[in-house]
Amino acid sequence: MQNIRCEATTQQGFEMSAEEVVRKYCESVDPKTGKPLFPTMREFVCFAALLGLSESNLRHLTGEIVTIVDGRIFEKSDRAMDIYYAVVLAHDRSTSILSDENEDLAHRLFEAYVNGGLEIVQRTMIDEPGSSSGLTYLERLAIKLADEEIIGDKRSIDVEF
């Protein structure tokens, strides 16, 4: 597994870089519980990838790039790897994307969805600056994604085997 990367520079119109956004949300503590919403960067990266996928927002890496999660740490989590494979399969709709020869392409797709999700979070920080930590907004997004997955959004994804 390769390292998960994001852009290190602040994009025009945003207050902070994607890297800074990841650090902010992983270090911010929910005032109600005293716990971070995302205890690890790996969990936040998975959230960002799912957000990017749910909003069909791919943002391929350009410019200065920095590692946000070591690939060795990422692959130690079965849940993170399940999300990785699900995101890639949802995009490509063919298991051939998981072949060894497509490993780099699959990884770039996952990173593009991670960075697309980070872009949505960054944009929302500007559009809805209400909470100083932003946890309220992220909580709403997480609940929305969970509701879509569990309750209603029964979109079927055809995958070729």
Q: pLDDT per residue over 4-13, tens digit each?
A: 999 888 877 7
Q: Using CB atoms within 10 A of its CB, is residue 41 exposed (0-12), middle (13-18) or buried (19+)?
A: buried
In this structure, of 24-28, 45-49, 145-149, the range with the lowest mean pLDDT score is 145-149
Q: Which of 83-87, 100-104, 133-137, 153-157 has the lowest mean pLDDT?
A: 153-157
Please, which pLDDT band fits residue 142 given cuts at 50, 70 and 90? low
Using CA atoms, how far apart are residues 140 and 61, in angstroms rounded to an integer? 27
Report the SS3 class of residue 29: coil
- Structure-model confidence comparison of residues 66 and 24, the more confident one: 66
Closest by Cα among 110, 35, 34 to 69: 110
Average confidence score pLDDT of the chain:
82
Reported as a pLDDT band with limits 50, 70 and 90, residue 39 is confident
Cβ pair 45, 22 in contact under 8 A: yes
What pLDDT is recorded for position 143?
A: 64
pTM, to two decimals? 0.80
| pLDDT at res. 117 | 93
Structure tokens at 108: 């770039």
Per-residue pLDDT at 134 exceeds 90: no
Beta partners for residue 42, in sequence order: none
| Mean pLDDT of all residues in 47-66 | 92
